[in-house]
Every structure is written in C-alpha cells, then in structure tokens.
Amino acid sequence: MYVWLLLWVCVAAIEALLYTFSETNFLKSTLPRILLGTILAVLIVVTAGILLESDWHIWIASALLTPYRLINVVRFMQHRLQRDRLRDVSLQAHAWLVGAQIVLFLMSRVVEHYSVVVLASGIAAPQLLITLGLLRSTLQTWEYARPVVPSKHYPDKELPSVSVLIPARDETVTLQRCLESILQSDYPKFEVLVLDDCSQDTHTPEIIRSFAQRGVRFLQGEIPEEHWVAKNFACEQLRHEADGSLLLYANADVRFEPTTMRAMVEHLLSQNKEMLSVLPVRPAEEKLRFSLLQPMRYYWELCLPRRMFKRPPVLSTCWIISAERLEQYGGFASAKQSVAPETHFARKAVISDGYSFVRNSAELKVYRAKDTHTQYETTVRMRYPQLHRRLELVAATSLFELLFIAGPFFGLIVSFFLPHTLAFSLVWLAAVLATEIMYFYVSVETRLNTPITAILAAPLAILVDIYMLHVSLIRYEFGDVDWKGRNVCIPVMRVEPRKHKLLRSSADLV
C-alpha cells in the first residue's frame, strides 16, 4: 500500500513542478507542453487505478477528485490563458485538489474499521444538520426580503427622478411588452432610455423607435472595448446618458405593474438605502409551470447564509441604484469583466447598510419569463464565473451538492437496506423535507413550478445543476460561451497580469 502511496505522491510532485515552471522557454512551444501534459495525464490515471485496485474502499472517495486533476492538466495543455494566469490557476487548483485527496485519504484510514451503522450515522447526522442550517438561512432570507410598508406617504414632489435603463440586443416582442408596461407606470418623474447594443438585425431599433412619440429615448450603442463584457459596456453608456437621480436597470424581458416603480423608490427612501434588487416571479398568464434551471439560480441566492459574509443576494433582472453612489463605486468600469456587475455594487453598498433585496408584494410586482433555451444559456454564462473561474471550487461545490443536498434523497432509499431502518429513514426524511421546503420557496413562490412539480423536480434539479456547472466549466475553459452572437469567454476569462490572487477566503464558496 505504501509503495503505491509513494508513487502517487511522486506523480503529484511532478505535476506541481510542471505548473511551477510553466513559463520556462522549453514549455512555451506547443509540442513539449502537450507531450509532458499527456504523460502526466496518463500517470495520474495509472496511479489512481493502481491505488483503487490495491485498496479501493480507501481510495474511492479521493478518486472522485482525479477527473478534476485531469481537467487541470488539459487546461495546461490547451494554453488558452495568459501564461501568468495559467500557471497560477493550475498550481492553485493542483494544491487544493491534492490536499483534498490527502485529507480524504486520512479520513478513510480513520473510519475504515468502523461498522456500516456507524459510518451511515456519520454521514446522515451532518446531512441533517447542514440541511436544517440551510433551511434556517432560507427562512431568514425570505423574511429579510419581505417588502416593508413605507412609514409615510411620499408626495410626488418629494420623489426623486428615475432613469429606466434597458440594454437591448436582438430582442423580440418581449421588449415591446416591457416598454408598454413601464410606460403605464404611475411614477411622476421618470425617463426611459433604451440602447441598441449593436443588434444583428433591424427589429430591435424598430421596436425602440416605435415608442419615440411616447418619450422613449433611443441610443445607438458603440462596439464594446476588448476587455469589457458587452452588456456592462452598454450599461455604462446608458449611465452617462441618464439624467435621473436614481438609475433603474432592467432586462428587456421584464414587465412591471403601474405601481412597481413607485414602490421600489418608496422602499429605498423609507429604508434609507442606496441600492435595491427585486426577486421576480413568472407572469400568471404563462402556462408552462415547470422549470429546473431557474429555481437553482434563485436557490444559490436565497438559501446560503450570504449576509453572514457580507455577500447579499442580488439578481440582474431588475435593480435600482443611486446615480451618485454608482459614480462613487467607479461605474461599470469597476466590474467590466463580471457577468453579474450588480453583485459587485451590492457588496459595496451592504458594507454601509445601503443595500436591500426584496421579493414581490401587492404593489411591487416584477415579472419575468424565460424559455428553456434562454435559461440554459444563462446558466452556462453564469455558473462558472460565480465560482470565480476556479476548478477546485467547482469540485468542492459539486461534492457538497451530491453529499449534503442530493445525498439525503439517496440515503432515504439506502435506509431500507440498513440495520435500524426506522431511525435512518426518519433522519434522512427530515433532511429531504428541509430540502423540499427550500425548493418550494425558490420555485413555487416565484411561480416557476407548481407544488406538485416542485416536489418531484427537487432532486432532479440538484443533479441538473451539477451537470450545468460542469458544462459551464468546460465551455469557458475549452470552448466558447456565446451570448447573443458574442463570445463572453474573452473578457470574462482574461485577468490582468500580476493581479490574480492565489488564495481567497472560504467565503468565496458563497
């Protein structure tokens, strides 16, 4: 056993040396890099196979991380990133993955002499505690997101001016419905600016210009600069053209009630906030009430204890911010490579208690409906950058989802084959119910699923989320992430030399 362990350590050391000296001249050419990478990948597979064969019940857990080490090697061979970043991220991922494998190995050596009942208890108890902790966090966030009734009525003259800003590219009739709903607002002082973000067809500018007589301003967008995410560049152009004291950014597929804008502004004023983001719901007239991807996006915003880490929930659908405060934050130039720049501003605002996240109420209604294809493309675009483009965080998040979120569903089935079936089934049933309640809040309360489909879809949605996380990883690292005819990989994956940090705090997981 120790011979094979020594061989595994030697391969890990060779792997580390390869990443460390990746900037040397002989590795700048393609052939040596591919040759060394191929040899290393073969060694990783062979040593993992030997270890599994010699003591599979010990090494099976750590072997789950071996595919991520192989992805790390392939990333090195592809050489798609700048050399500085390629070396740093590869070495960092290697250190975390190998370290995790060592920890799992040591843990397996400790528990290998325990009985099946003890091991099952050691798994079931943490699963229950974590799911109950996540449920508590979900309920707290849901209560925290409850819109507060303003303490006083604000007359029209006390309300600040609002600029509604909409970046639009290759839009359909949804943009027309969006503008019609905004123009029905009862808010006394607002303007609407829509920027045509270099659409590939003439339909989008035609829709915008058709509202010119109703006061909608048409802006022709410029070609985005190289290091900008195109949508962020469009939002920055809109910011400079806006005259309002408050800037309300909305996607082109959003719809409002006549009272929505006033309710948002009054919430800001009454709570003395500088920024607000709204949790949207599916329109009542939409017939399709089954979704797997969108609820999990809401799950990661609502169910984790984000406020503990000063990382509040925020969504790009509809958010409003003080123009003066946005200027102090550096505008969108301070988050030009982010797929979710609103998250950057919310983290700044929450430090001074200037941010609020609210769900819908009778007066504050924001609607949004996405078809399945759009949800798929959005998930691919968002998931890997949400984990800071770090391979080791993808591995950790996937294992966490499998073990603690999806795990109780599998445990409930396994419990019928274990001694003390009743005790195990009750523990896992409690964990499953906690997960189902969380999924109810993020999918049923937002009208993404009916109660029946939510109950049935919860375990499948978790597995689909893990799959989509890896699709996002592969597309960003080895392919293209196309968003309305633009490859967002170029700005998102680019990091300025010497600015990449090797280590981040554990709060990055949320």
| pLDDT, tens digit, 9 for 90 and up, residues 60-109 | 667 788 889 888 888 877 767 777 778 888 888 988 988 888 887 777 77
Angle in degrees, CA 8, 14, 20, rounded to 5: 135
Per-residue confidence band for 152, with pLDDT thresholds at 50, 70 and 90: confident
Higher pLDDT: 42 or 249? It is 249
Please report, to the nearest 10 degrees, the dihedral formed by the alpha carbons of residues 315, 321, 327, 333 taken in order. Answer: 20
Percent of the chain predicted with pLDDT > 90:
56
Q: Is residue 9 predicted with pLDDT exceeding 60?
A: yes
25-29, 225-229, 249-253, 418-422: least confident range: 25-29
pLDDT tens for each residue of 429-477: 999 999 999 999 999 999 999 999 999 999 999 999 999 999 999 999 9
Q: Is residue 504 predicted with pLDDT exceeding 60?
A: no
Q: Which residues pair with 200 in a beta bridge?
A: none
Q: Is residue 496 predicted with pLDDT exceeding 70?
A: no
Per-residue confidence band for 506, with pLDDT thresholds at 50, 70 and 90: very low
φ/ψ (deg, to 5) at 168: -130, 135
- Name the strand (E) or helix (H) holding 395: helix 391-400
Taking CA atoms, 318 is separated from 193, 198, 469, in Å, by 15, 22, 24
13-22, 44-53, 95-104: least confident range: 44-53
Mean pLDDT of 383-411: 94
Per-residue confidence band for 499, with pLDDT thresholds at 50, 70 and 90: very low
Q: Tell me if residue 216 falls in helix, strand or coil.
A: strand
Residue-level pLDDT at 4? 67
What DSSP designation does 228 have? S
Distance CA(275)–CA(168), nearest Å, equals: 22
Q: Is residue 508 predicted with pLDDT exceeding 60?
A: no
Residue-level pLDDT at 22? 62
**Domain limits of the chain?**
1-112, 114-144+384-510, 145-280+315-370
Residue-level pLDDT at 214? 93
Angle in degrees, CA 378, 223, 481, rounded to 5: 25
Report the mean per-residue pLDDT for the chain: 87
pTM of the model: 0.89
User: CB within 8 A of 233, min separation 6: which ones?
Assistant: 221, 222, 224, 225, 332, 336
Distance CA(262)–CA(160), nearest Å, equals: 10
Angle in degrees, CA 108, 109, 110, rounded to 5: 90
Q: Is residue 128 predicted with pLDDT exceeding 50?
A: yes
Token pair, residue 164, equals 């509604």
- Give just the sign of the alpha carbon dihedral 239, 241, 245, 247: negative
Within its chain, how far is the Cα of 177 from the centroid? 27
Mean pLDDT of 263-281: 93
φ/ψ (deg, to 5) at 215: 95, 0
Question: Counting beta carbons within 10 angstroms of the beta carbon of residue 1, is it exposed (0 to 12), middle (13 to 18) or buried (19 or more)?
Answer: exposed
Mean pLDDT of 175-200: 94
Which amino acid would we find at residue 181?
S
Q: Shortest CA distance to 191 belongs to which of 217, 212, 211, 168? A: 217
Q: How many CB atoms lie within 10 A of CB 484?
A: 15
Residue-level pLDDT at 351? 92
Mean pLDDT of 355-366: 91
Do 326 and 247 touch, CB atoms closer than 8 A? Answer: yes
Residue-level pLDDT at 210? 94
Do 480 and 380 touch, CB atoms closer than 8 A? Answer: no
Q: Is residue 25 predicted with pLDDT exceeding 50?
A: no
Distance CA(363)–CA(263), nearest Å, equals: 6
Q: Is residue 126 predicted with pLDDT exceeding 60?
A: yes
Using the CB atoms, write b or e for 120-154: b if 16+ within 10 Å: bbebbeebbebbeebbebbeebbeebebeebeeee
Percent of the chain predicted with pLDDT > 70:
90
Token pair, residue 261, equals 């804008």
What DSSP designation does 150 have? P
Q: Shortest CA distance to 249 belongs to which of 137, 382, 389, 346? A: 346
Q: Is residue 1 predicted with pLDDT exceeding 80?
A: no
Q: Tell me if residue 460 falls in helix, strand or coil.
A: helix
Q: Is residue 361 predicted with pLDDT exceeding 80?
A: yes
pLDDT tens for each residue of 106-119: 777 777 777 888 88
Do 207 and 192 touch, CB atoms closer than 8 A? Answer: no
CATH architecture observed for domain 145-280+315-370: Alpha-Beta Complex (3.90)
Angle in degrees, CA 436, 136, 315, rounded to 5: 80
